[in-house]
Each structure stands twice: as structure tokens, then as C-alpha cells.
A and B are shown apart, each in its own frame.
Chain A
Amino acid sequence: GAGVSQSPSNKVTEKGKDVELRCDPISGHTALYWYRQSLGQGLEFLIYFQGNSAPDKSGLPSDRFSAERTGGSVSTLTIQRTQQEDSAVYLCASSPPTGRYEQYFGPGTRLTVT
């Protein structure tokens, strides 16, 4: 079946511009996660959605970052007034509702802020 998809695969933007990154999770998966992976670094948790519950936003690094999930499916991560330190690969993952807890990752969006 179809896996997690993310778009765009690559995004180059100028400092100060806003960007939107999209994630389409696997159909039926209720949990959705956003992570950031900087060069040579591990995965930095950003935000977590579970069904209709309030999202866990504890990992968002600043108020320039926000995310929403519409209809319990597609999610958009928005970065306002991008900075060079925002350059990274942004990964999305989803998990099924119960019984299995592994995450299925998308290919990521490589964001470069010039």
C-alpha cells in the first residue's frame, strides 16, 4: 500500500519567507509526528497529533513554527519568517491506532534557507 508521502521533496527559500511543508500519512493511521533532522544530528521531535486530541506541541522550537492536521489526515507544518538555522530535513511519520506502535516515515522535505 501507499506509504507516508511528503511534499515538496526539496525547498529552497530566502531568509524571512514563510514555507509550508505537507505530509500525507498512511490511510487509517491516527498518530502523526513531525521531526527535524539537521546535518549530522539525530531526530528532534517537533509536534505530535493523535486523533482528535489536542496536539503535543512541546517540541516546537519557536512561535514561528506551527502545524495543523485537517480531518485527521493531512498535516501541514508552517515556518514563518524562516531563518538559516531552520535549514534541515523535516520528517513526518504516522502510526496505526492500536496494538502496533512503530512509526512509518516519509522521505522528508529538505529545507534550505539562503
Chain B
Amino acid sequence: AQSVAQPEDQVNVAEGNPLTVKCTYSVSGNPYLFWYVQYPNRGLQFLLKYITGDNLVKGSYGFEAEFNKSQTSFHLKKPSALVSDSALYFCAVRDLEGYQKVTFGTGTKLQVIP
């Protein structure tokens, strides 16, 4: 069975500082990995994905994520946080080997402090 862990319920960071939101995964084959963001009272929006290729993936709003196969991690990063980045972030995984169900983590609330 596939699974995703987001070990931090909340991450606080000062505006202008770099941010990292952690995600680790477990799948039987090669993974497809995703990050989604949910702003207050809004639906989930796709941020970025890793399918294959370069381990560093760039996405929307200046976010990027690094795929690390040996550590089974896919941490979300941004060099300089904005107050408007405050939201709930979800990591998700899908097994590449034909099993198409997507499993989401429990979410990490990012609070950017002015």
C-alpha cells in the first residue's frame, strides 16, 4: 500500500526567509509525486509534480520541490516566503505501476509571519 507522511502539522516562518515543508512517501514502484495548496475557503490547487527526470521540480508561485529517491522524500521549498503563501499544503503520491489511486498526506499549515 502506498502512503504519504507530512511530519509537521504546522510550519511557521518569517516573511522573506526560506521555507521548507516536509514530505516522505512509500510506494511499491516508482512514484508520481505532487504538491497541492489550499487557501482558506478555497479548493485545492495543483502546485507542482515529479514524474521523471530532473530531481528539482519548479512549480507555481516560486515554489520548488526536490525528489530524493534514497530518502523517499519530496520536500517543498521556496527561497523567500510571502505572507500570501500562508495556506494548507498537501503532498500526494501515486504509484507509477498502473495503480492509479492517489494518496494524500494529512497536510501542513504554513504560517508566514510578517
Chain A residues at the B interface, C-beta cutoff of 8 Å: 31, 33, 35, 41-43, 45, 48, 50, 56, 58, 91, 93, 101-108
Contact = CB atoms under 8 A, between A and B. Distances in A.
Contacts of B36: 103, 105
Nearest to B41: A107
A103 B47 CA distance: 10
B56 to A, nearest CB: 18
Is chain B's binding surface mostly helix, strand, loop or mixed? Answer: strand
B44, B45, B106, most chain A CB atoms within 10 A: B44
User: Nearest 5 A-B pairs (CB), nearest first?
Assistant: A42-B106, A43-B104, A105-B44, A102-B46, A105-B43
B101 A91 contact: no
B102 A45 contact: yes
B101 A107 contact: no
Interface string B39-55: 00011111001010000
Size bin of chain B's contact surface: 20 to 34
A45 B51 contact: no
Interface of B: 32, 34, 36, 42-46, 49, 51, 90, 94, 100-107
B32, B36, B101, B103, most chain A CB atoms within 10 A: B101
20 contacts: A35-B104, A41-B106, A42-B90, A42-B105, A43-B44, A43-B107, A45-B101, A45-B103, A45-B104, A56-B100, A58-B101, A101-B32, A101-B34, A101-B51, A101-B94, A102-B46, A103-B34, A105-B36, A105-B45, A108-B43
Contacts of A50: 100
B107 A48 contact: no
B49 A101 contact: yes
Contacts of A31: 100
B101 A48 contact: yes
B43 A42 contact: no
A106 B104 contact: no
Contact of B102 (A103, A106, A108): A103
Given A43-B90, A43-B107, 19 more contacts: A31-B100, A35-B104, A42-B106, A43-B44, A43-B104, A45-B101, A45-B102, A48-B100, A56-B100, A56-B101, A58-B101, A91-B43, A101-B51, A101-B94, A102-B49, A103-B34, A103-B36, A105-B36, A108-B43
